[in-house]
Structure formats: structure tokens, C-alpha cells
Amino acid sequence: MKVKNYLKLMLINFSFLVASVALMLVIGYVSVIFLGKDNPVEEISEAVIQAETGKSIDLTPH
């Protein structure tokens, strides 16, 4: 019974991580469209994604 609860909790945590990174990608990309390249919203989104995943990305389209 404890193992099932632990697995459910792990799945919820992973789902939250995926959802938060996806949300940051969308917010960062949309901010580039409306505010231009290298705006503060995009930079914060990139920082959050790097903090959560450990991967550095650039949301600015080339």
C-alpha cells in the first residue's frame, strides 16, 4: 500500500514538473512574439527552465 502511494506521489511530482516547464516554454515563446528578442519575461522563463531541468536553452527564434 505504501509503494502505491509513493508511486502516485512521484507521478504527480513529475507531472507538475512537465507542466511547469511546458508553461514556461509557452510564456517565453509568446513573450518573444509580443515583446521582441531577449526581453525580461523570456530571460526569466529560460532561467526557470534551466533551474528545473539543468539544461540551458534559448527561446529567441533565429
Any domain includes 59: no
Q: What's the Cα-to-Cα distance from 62 to each of 36, 44, 46, rounded to whole Å? A: 12, 19, 16
Any domain includes 22: yes
Residue 44 belongs to domain spanning: 2-53
Any domain includes 60: no
Any domain includes 35: yes
Any domain includes 9: yes
Any domain includes 7: yes
- Segment 15-43, tens digit of pLDDT: 998 998 899 888 888 888 888 877 888 88
Task: Give backbone dihedrals phi and psi of 56, rounded to 5 degrees, phi first.
Answer: -90, 125
The reply to whether the predicted model has a pTM over 0.85 is: no
Q: How many domains does the chain fold into? A: 1
Reply yes or no on whether the pLDDT at 1 is more than 80: no
